Structure 1
């Protein structure tokens, strides 16, 4: 650690700027604002605003502080690379590996050094931040949840640190290490986005059953991205994948991330063990090469060519007005370019651009064959229909919470029949036919949730099936916001505000009598269940 004082100084400065300073600045600003509130507002309003100031300090001290997460990521990568960067220098490798110390012990010393250089300053400055918050009058933000925040940051540090160590050991050049590290950290997210784009392009019934943000944050193989979706031991509701697992009727509560953190802690241990194994078998003479292990060269090249070729294809398609022709042009061009780039990097020679053309042809042929298979829907994605006995719940809509799925057998059968009619209409090329889009979501008994989007013909059968579902009591109770009204908290009461069509959003009257308001709500609920599509509700 004496030889790596720069890492200790960098960590101390980094966490001072990311943790301690934001807490002190936010607390000082909050105290100044609260002083003005006491002079200008009533005692009740000042007390309410004070709670907002307390929450702001709590955010800087807790898992919502993005500056700390950035510092953890930067230091994990920096320390992971620097502690093993000597492997890329032939003279240093000869010196260190000539010392009378085993490879395992040398690895342990380097690994522990990098971890201590980053984590000790973090823990010290986090403790100072807690002391500062208490000293400035914000002691109520200090609670047991901070233990989870610290544990989360430490787990993600070790995971990202271990990944950086593995990439450094795999490579024989620091620049190549950083490039491979970018691929390891962000590659899974890119693959997720490309896969969604391909399904959207080739499958007629594809519907994105979650927001893109939740799909990206839901990729467990991209911990660096996943890190920003966590608030200590909780997950932000917008980072939950998929969206339909969230019960909106219960409020947007943050689900627990303890299981995810345990999984990442185990992954950190496994990756550390892998780093130790690779460190022990790595040949010293591989210093200065692109990759230190020849067997992984071809798999790495195949992955890069396939992913980047697909990325080029989708970019070209978007640039030229959704042109399918330019999709295939971009696919070929991207695959060829990155095959050449990888060969140049492997050989450190521009003349290697023309090497191994057979591998390029095979990679391109397999990639094209795979995409053509998707385009022809060989595996029947669009024609998929679940067996009625395997369906636990269903709904003729997408983007729904589990509380909105229908479980009565009649509604399940009707929803599946709508999907069957949608499959039958896939090959209907009559542009003049009356059609309407509908998304059907199925929750299967094995726990999986799948959605499909169909263009249904405007037939009497379709109208009857939809009416059967929409007029059912189960659908009304789950889809109508009237039935989602919860209990009124103590000290509050519910008003009913009346509007007219002529006045738009201007209320023309308010009913504040709680008993009468509840009577109206109960009456509306009862009449909603008996209301049919050919009758006009009074209110």
Structure 2
């Protein structure tokens, strides 16, 4: 029977604590240096350096920057640093458990197991608490000298980094209790930190490969919470505070409740680590896994996860190279079994420290293969009926949608029961018909569409699906086809307003606008400029655009390629505005742009453009094609969309700035920023 050597004498050991602090001083010194540089030293440079963004007498701006820097030091990349440092702390302080000589000596000391654990644990905790406190006090001294009064920011930093370090350190110590080799500690620590997100990603990847319509949805909240680095980097951050003029007046810090929850979990993990340590046998030093009941978990966990990961890699490398895009669950099953056997026997070799493992563990390997085959069959046969799952309209609270036609797109959220019912009807049609995804130009199927639906259900659940398919002009005449249903949705004012509503609701104040126009047409090229609009004109045009959308003038030709060519204007209306402050955003924008595309059906907008004398500057896609000779067959001729890809990437510069693009009969000058019209060549 394994022995648990420990003395009945002694608890906490001050001598052992001093030994830990002196023995691993380079690690403590490195940790101290990082935080002294990141906090008091960085704060001193921000507040007192003579060369920088602000002059030395511009102290208010420097103070704001100092507060922002202090809060940033408690989030983001700091979380990653703390996670790494905590693992190094645990590896150093509990490394004696990984060699027989060291663990035998330690357990022969007149100190109980509890005393040994608490002493080593306290050494690491004492270091990071002392370092954090010293960095905070020095930072406060620098702030006091510079007149910074937002001392709460230093307190927020201290609580954030201390709470996070407590959790990661306890987690690393917990992992160290299972490791019989020192390098196994970071391996177990990394695996357990990423296990939930990794498994979710694997199952998502398999589902997207084999289940029709499966969408990579957001990771569920439990998965985020079980992935500490992700949850803390995403949930702990600073954000700006703005005044009525959108000027920065301060900062807020979000996430301390999250840190507190993880700190409490850290205390629990420390207690669990002590419970495991009390039952850990000294003789397991040197084993990869030091706890007997954890060895099957390691063996089968490595086999299962390794089988799916290696299986997907083999499937992608071998099957996808020769299948022509066709999926095969049997092929995936073969690859998964091959990867699973390799991972399972590899784990067994590490545990047994021998290459002769097949005879002793083939039964476990057979059980693992059966599980992997069942998983692959479940995906291939859709045993859970995922593909056919379409929620009832009355069970849906709202739907986020993305519809992409040949040249048009819509995205937004609807709550109207009538629109939800039409979206679920489209979803049901896609599930039943499963239209082909690949275009077939020889048969006239040359248009492409895609649908993304994310349902928020009334019971608190969610459902996400993505579909893409090809269609022809004939499909638009069949009212029951997915293409025809999408075309009807594009023409629906409620859908158009849902797509536009998010942009409209974010506008605080319109500042100006522009209408792009084109001129100097030549074979294969043209010139481009923009007519400026003041705030009142931009507001008038935006209001007219909204009236057109509400009247059903938008999306008329969204799915009809030929009609889109004839009726879509290539001109774009740009509305510049100041966005509303959004407390949920970490950084607030000072300005933003609303890009509006329109067609010949927008009668309200066209009437307003005519009043401004701008209607004559409009040109449709088909007309631009004709003017630049896209169908002439001349060498160098290009289509309008190809031309736009190149020519619209101009950068407005100072007056008379000139950019040159190539044309079929020589270079064509493109003038922006008010340059005179001129031709070269």
TM-score, normalised to structure 1's length? 0.80
Residue 261 of structure 1: SS of its match in structure 2?
Answer: helix
Question: What do the CA deviations read for 1:187-214 (whole angstroms, capped 9, x no partner)?
Answer: 334323322211111111112234xxx7
2:351 maps to what in 1? Answer: 346
Q: Deviations over 1:352-399 (max 9, x none)?
A: 365311111210121122112111111111111112221111244289
Given candidates 445, 454, 458, the residue that maps to 1:441 is 454
Report the Cα distance in structure 2 between the residues aligned to 1:67 and 1:441, rounded to whole angstroms.
32
Q: Quick check: 1:385–1:419 contact (8 Å CA) kept in 2?
A: yes
Residue 301 of structure 2: aligned partner: 303
The DSSP-based 3-state class of the residue aligned with 1:350 is: coil
Question: Cα RMSD over matched residues?
Answer: 3.8
* 2:501 equivalent to 1:476: no
How far off is 1:412 after superposition?
Answer: 0.8
Tell me the distance in 1 between the aligned counterparts of 2:135 and 2:49.
Answer: 24
- Residues 171, 291 of structure 1: 8 Å contact kept: yes
Q: In 2, Cα distance between the equivalents of 1:455 and 1:322?
A: 20
Query: Is 1:131 matched with 2:136?
Result: no
User: Counterparts of 2:294 and 2:194 in 1: how far apart (Å)?
Assistant: 19
Name 2:546's counterpart in structure 1.
Answer: 525
Q: 1:44-443 to 2 correspondence within 5 Å?
A: 51=61, 55=65, 58-59=68-69, 62-63=72-73, 68-132=78-142, 135=145, 137=146, 139=148, 142-210=150-218, 219-232=224-237, 256-320=254-318, 322-323=320-321, 327-328=332-333, 330-352=335-357, 354-397=359-402, 404-426=412-434, 436-443=449-456
1:11 maps to 28
Give the secondary-structure state (helix, strand or coil) at the position aligned to 2:226. coil
The answer to whether structure 1 residue 536 and structure 2 residue 555 are counterparts is no
Residues 37 and 126 of structure 1, relative CA distance in 2, 3 Å threshold: closer
Aligned length: 501
Retained in 2: the 8 A contact 1:391–1:445? yes
Q: CA deviation at 1:101?
A: 4.1
Alpha-carbon distance between aligned partners in 1 of 2:153 and 2:403, rounded to the nearest angstrom = 35
Gaps spanning 5+ residues in structure 2: where? 1-16, 241-250, 322-327, 405-410, 520-525, 557-599, 610-681
Contact 2:167 2:263 in 1 (8 A): yes
Instruction: Summarize the Cα distance change of 1:445–1:234 in structure 2 as closer, same or farther, 3 Å threshold.
Output: farther
Query: What is the CA–CA distance in structure 1 between the aligned matches of 2:208 and 2:253, rounded to whole Å?
Result: 29
Structure number with the higher strand fraction is 2
Distance in structure 2 (CA, Å) of the matches to 1:108 and 1:221: 26
2: CA distance between counterparts of 1:511 and 1:93? 79
Question: 1:72·1:157 contact (CA, 8 Å) conserved in 2?
Answer: yes
Match of 1:510 in 2: 533
Q: Distance in 1 between matches of 2:262 and 2:530?
A: 53
**C-alpha spacing 1:32/1:176, structure 2 compared with 1 (3 Å):** closer
The residue matched to 1:460 in structure 2 has which SS? coil
Q: Distance in 1 between matches of 2:462 and 2:178?
A: 39
Report the Cα distance in structure 2 between the residues aligned to 1:102 and 1:259, rounded to whole angstroms.
36
The 8 Å contact of residues 344 and 350 in structure 1, kept in 2 or not, is answered as yes
Distance in 2 (alpha carbons) for counterparts of 1:15 and 1:187: 31
Contact 2:71 2:156 in 1 (8 A): no
- Per the normalisation by structure 2, the TM-score is 0.65
Residues 145 and 232, structure 1, Cα contact 8 Å, conserved in 2? no
Larger RCO, structures 1/2 (Cα 8 Å, 6+ apart): 1
Q: Distance between the aligned counterparts of 2:172 and 2:390, measured in 1?
A: 44
